[in-house]
Amino acid sequence: MPAHVDGDITRPNSVLGKAQLLLEAFGSGTHRLRLTELSKRSGIPKASTHRLVQELVQWGLLERQGDSYQLGMQLFSLGQRVPASAMLRAVARPLLTDLFARTRATLHLAVLDGSHVLFLEKIAGAANIHTHSQVGGRLPASCTATGKVLLALHRGGPGAVQRLTRTGLPSLTTRSVATTEKLRQQLATVADRGYALEHGEVLSGHSSLAVPVTGADGTVHAAVSATATTARMQTGNLLPALWSAAAGIARRLDHATLPPHNDTEQ
């Protein structure tokens, strides 16, 4: 199985499914790939990869840069139109910007995406930019503070943990949680405390603290985290500030109006 294909993805036979695998080949921190790399990462034969890549370029979903390819601006444009993520980003960004001004920690807003977290927003200064995360990027939920919060408290968490039990846990550093038994112990602690703290599981020498964004009805919409060097991580100071920002985001979401959704048509 290619490195980027995880337990959330079943290998498809359709053209659309293969196109999805090609786009998924661009993992967090992977900006450009050659045709051979795309074929290897996606598991799609090189001839088919070449044909599909040309169509994706025509649609604006990929862009060619010399002998390599990168994700196209059309993907970004489409992503901005997703109602839930667009609303989350809109209400969260001012609060996260204020929080960054007070803490100078790198801040993330993330949602659960299968057994990964998807970063919707990132606020960081020039000295705080870490290559492990980017807006629109995904990281294993089991390693990240945002992921541990969502696995423990989000309604999709139990299903994601069950998939990890079958597929095994990915590892980003030597400190990444290695077994589902240990992960379940961590998640029980997170559920009890209401927040998650990880040290060096994603990036050596760095720690992250995360709290949930919980609506008035108890629904966990997302997670907000602060990342700093382990030496600078001050949980006692950061935690109240994170709770305050998450509560503010939740209040704004509760007062926002999502586009109507018709559950009667399947």
240-260 pLDDT tens trace: 999 999 999 999 988 875 444
Residues 129 and 39 in one domain: no
Round to whole Å and give the CA distance between 203 and 126: 18
Query: In angstroms, what CA-CA distances link 91 with 49, 86, 245, 260?
Result: 39, 9, 11, 19
Examine residue 165 and state whether it is found in any structural domain, yes or no. yes
Its domain, for residue 206, covers 82-255
CATH of the domain at 74: 1.10.10.10
pLDDT at 232: 87
Nearby residues of 14 by Cβ (< 8 Å), 6 or more positions away: none
How many domains are contained in the chain? 2
User: Angle 120-121-126 (CA atoms, 0-180°, nearest 5)?
Assistant: 145
Examine residue 175 and state whether it is found in any structural domain, yes or no. yes
Round to whole Å and give the CA distance between 37 and 207: 32
Residues 59 and 129 in one domain: no
Report which of residues 23 and 115 the model is more confident about: 115
Round to whole Å and give the CA distance between 102 and 261: 38
Q: Do 228 and 105 contact (CB within 8 A), yes or no?
A: yes
Examine residue 70 and state whether it is found in any structural domain, yes or no. yes
Give the CA diameter of the chain: 55
Q: What is the pLDDT of residues 26-80, one digit of tens each?
A: 765 567 889 998 998 888 999 989 999 998 998 888 889 888 988 887 766 666 5
